[in-house]
């Protein structure tokens, strides 16, 4: 199984992005629970889940920065005095 691509995360809308982040965090919790009870069969799933979570959180942060930058008014250049 290949690692997920960030292009897939960028194609999600904001609500789907938040839902995916929550789902991956739950998946990581379940994997840690399985590891603690020695029922984990595929340890590589940790790497995939952490990678996916990092991608999703990166896209979320990029969008927040872009929206904050758009909301901040640009300082107009000082007017020359005549």
Q: Which CATH architecture has domain 6-68?
A: Orthogonal Bundle (1.10)
What pLDDT does 76 receive? 65
First to last CA, the chain: 69
- State the pTM of this model: 0.80
Contact 60, 21 (CB under 8 A): yes
Residue 46: predicted pLDDT: 94
Mean pLDDT by 10 residues, the chain (82 residues): 86 95 97 95 94 96 92 70 62
């Amino acid at each position: 199984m290949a690692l997920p691509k960030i292009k897939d995360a960028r194609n999600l809308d904001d609500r789907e992005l938040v839902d995916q982040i929550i789902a991956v965090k739950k998946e990581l919790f379940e994997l840690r629970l399985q590891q603690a009870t020695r029922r984990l069969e595929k340890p590589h799933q940790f790497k995939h889940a952490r990678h996916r979570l990092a991608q999703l959180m990166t896209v979320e942060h990029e969008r927040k920065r872009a929206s904050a930058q758009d909301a901040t008014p640009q300082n107009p250049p000082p007017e020359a005095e005549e």
